[in-house]
Chains A and B, each alone.
Chain A
Amino acid sequence: MTTNDPAADAAGPADGAVIADAEVGWPSGVPPILNQAFDAGTLYALRASVQAHASALGMPDARTDDLVIALHELAANAVRHGAGGGRVRVWKHAGELHCQVEDDGAPARGEALAPDGGAVLDSAGNAADSWPFSLGHGLWLVRLVADEISVFSGPDGTCATVVFALPGADDAPSARAC
């Protein structure tokens, strides 16, 4: 689970996912240590998986919490403003975790993320709220806690990548998943 050796986890990705990874994933052909689909009903399970992986890699509790909320917020954004679901892939590379959150397709309503990673505020939609409620704080929080963030939004949906350094890592050169 904690290796990025392709041979060690060859059965990891679901059928067909390897081809997709070769096209959009990074590093090409290397299986992610976590590859998990999500939708509204499985955000809890996603958070539990991310936490388990980060803890197993020796990430301090506070940074693990940061990683969990960053991936939750990106996934939640895909659920609420994107296609309603997507996939998280996490690679371990050069002392860093590279985490890619991709939604399942074109946003159902509006753009999920502006290309510069800026928040797109969709303030519509909470009939139960009795006070003004605006979105965008989640993505602001992601930018605050992640070491790096990059976002690509295209006709097929949105893909965000966040990078978190692992403990004891050198300042390794980073790469982008999208």
Chain B
Amino acid sequence: MPVSAHSQVTDLALHDHACLTFGEQEELLDLTAAFVRDGLASGSRVVVLSDAPQNGTATLGGRKLAAESAVEAGQIMLAASQDGLVGPSGFSAERAMEWMRGQLADSRRHGFAGIRVALDMSWALQPMTGIEELPTLEEEIAAAVSDAEMSVLCGYDRERFDPVTLALIAPMHSHAVTTATYHDDPVLRICRQYVPPGVRLAGELDFLAREALALALGEAIRIDGDITINMAHLTFIDAASMRMILEAAASLGPSRTVVLHCRPSVEARFAQLGADLLPHVSLVGVDDN
């Protein structure tokens, strides 16, 4: 299958093999959470492989996914990469595919409609024997998903993987997935947040980015439901930007809520502007770190 220019993670379906490239861990977690959420909603089994599976339920739970109950019900499995793709004696594409086929068989046995597998590929940054077989694994996954009720999301850190590897690996996927980004420079990043839906703002935000902010808020508004503005990593916001966010919130009907996640300094500033007086806006403080 040809690589489509850029897909949204929410567009992925069974038989897709997606290459997710991310710049920050937060993006990987957010896009993985969206992939998990949509999988649970469609009745698929979801397998998430990462370096820190023990944090998985908390991470997903923090994004309002009922991860714990899904884990108990066997619909979600969180596993460490070294227990799945990588064996004790290093990596081999054949062994990894055997594990994948085992997951597919399990999913069928339990009567799930399909299986979604999210792979955090950070393990492939470690020196280990057999790592040269990584392209083989990706080719075999591509072949496997095309005739099985399976979808695989491979997460590659674009800052840490070398460009040559990424250029080789990316075309082996049917989809290229990135976070929708409205503004990105060393001072400010504005991007979509998928789970819970909304906008993520990081860095310092002022009126100079008003067009990007308006676009991001506009898209968040067009999606149904409640909106979260994640400002956990926003260190400065000016009055014009706060005003724009509150105007956007006020333009929503009272049945939709807007949650503003912010550090104490930003939270205090929103309170000064009266944000806490708006009935459907809630301010939620997050730690500075």
Q: Which residues of A contact B (CB under 8 A)?
A: 40, 43-44, 47, 61-62, 65, 68-69, 72-73, 76, 80, 126, 128-135, 137-138, 140-141, 144-145
CB distance from A130 to the nearest CB of B (A): 5
Beyond A131-B248, A137-B239, A141-B273, is A126–B210 a contact (Cβ under 8 Å)? yes
Q: Of B206, B214, B265, B269, which one neighbours A126 at CB under 8 angstroms?
A: B214
Mask, B76-96, CB within 8 Å of A = 1, is 000000000000000000000
* B residues less than 8 Å from A145 (CB atoms): 272
Contact A68 B210 (CB under 8 A): no
Mask, B224-256, CB within 8 Å of A = 1, is 000000000000101110111001101100000
Contact A141 B239 (CB under 8 A): yes
CB distance from B158 to the nearest CB of A (A): 25
* B residues less than 8 Å from A138 (CB atoms): 238-240
* B residues less than 8 Å from A62 (CB atoms): 265, 268
Contact A40 B208 (CB under 8 A): yes
Chain B's interface size range is 20 to 34
Beyond A43-B206, A128-B214, A130-B214, is A72–B268 a contact (Cβ under 8 Å)? no
Question: Which B residue's beta carbon lies closest to that of A127?
Answer: B211
The answer to the question of B130 belonging to the interface, with a C-beta cut-off of 8 Å to chain A, is no
Beyond A73-B239, A138-B240, is A80–B207 a contact (Cβ under 8 Å)? yes
Question: Which A residue's beta carbon lies closest to that of B203?
Answer: A44
Q: Of B204, B208, B210, which one neighbours A128 at CB under 8 angstroms?
A: B210
Contact A69 B269 (CB under 8 A): yes
Contact B206 A76 (CB under 8 A): yes
Given A44-B204, A69-B236, 15 more A-B residue pairs with CB atoms under 8 Å apart are A47-B204, A72-B206, A72-B236, A76-B206, A76-B240, A128-B210, A129-B247, A132-B247, A133-B243, A138-B240, A140-B239, A141-B239, A141-B272, A141-B273, A144-B272
Complex alpha-carbon distance, A164 and B268, angstroms: 19
Beyond A47-B204, A72-B238, A138-B240, is A131–B251 a contact (Cβ under 8 Å)? yes
CB distance from B267 to the nearest CB of A (A): 11
The answer to the question of B164 belonging to the interface, with a C-beta cut-off of 8 Å to chain A, is no
Q: Which residues of B contact A (CB under 8 A)?
A: 187, 204, 206-208, 210-211, 214-215, 218, 236, 238-240, 242-244, 247-248, 250-251, 265, 268-269, 272-273
Number of A-B contacts (CB under 8 A): 65
Question: Which A residue's beta carbon lies closest to that of B272?
Answer: A144
* A residues less than 8 Å from B239 (CB atoms): 69, 73, 137-138, 140-141
Complex alpha-carbon distance, A80 and B204, angstroms: 18
Complex alpha-carbon distance, A156 and B201, angstroms: 38
* A residues less than 8 Å from B247 (CB atoms): 129, 131-133
Question: Which B residue's beta carbon lies closest to that of A41?
Answer: B208
* B residues less than 8 Å from A68 (CB atoms): 236
* B residues less than 8 Å from A76 (CB atoms): 206-207, 238, 240
Contact B238 A130 (CB under 8 A): no
Complex alpha-carbon distance, A141 and B244, angstroms: 15
CB distance from A47 to the nearest CB of B (A): 6
Contact B265 A65 (CB under 8 A): yes
Complex alpha-carbon distance, A130 and B242, angstroms: 15
* A residues less than 8 Å from B210 (CB atoms): 126, 128-129
Complex alpha-carbon distance, A135 and B104, angstroms: 57
CB distance from A13 to the nearest CB of B (A): 27
Question: Which B residue's beta carbon lies closest to that of A64?
Answer: B265
Complex alpha-carbon distance, A111 and B208, angstroms: 20
CB distance from A52 to the nearest CB of B (A): 14
- Please list 29 pairs of residues, one from A and one from B, whose beta carbons are closer than 8 Å in the complex, sorted by A's number: A40-B208, A43-B208, A44-B187, A44-B204, A44-B206, A65-B265, A65-B269, A69-B269, A72-B206, A76-B207, A76-B240, A126-B210, A128-B210, A128-B211, A128-B215, A129-B210, A129-B214, A129-B244, A130-B214, A130-B218, A131-B248, A132-B247, A133-B244, A134-B243, A135-B240, A137-B240, A137-B243, A138-B238, A140-B239
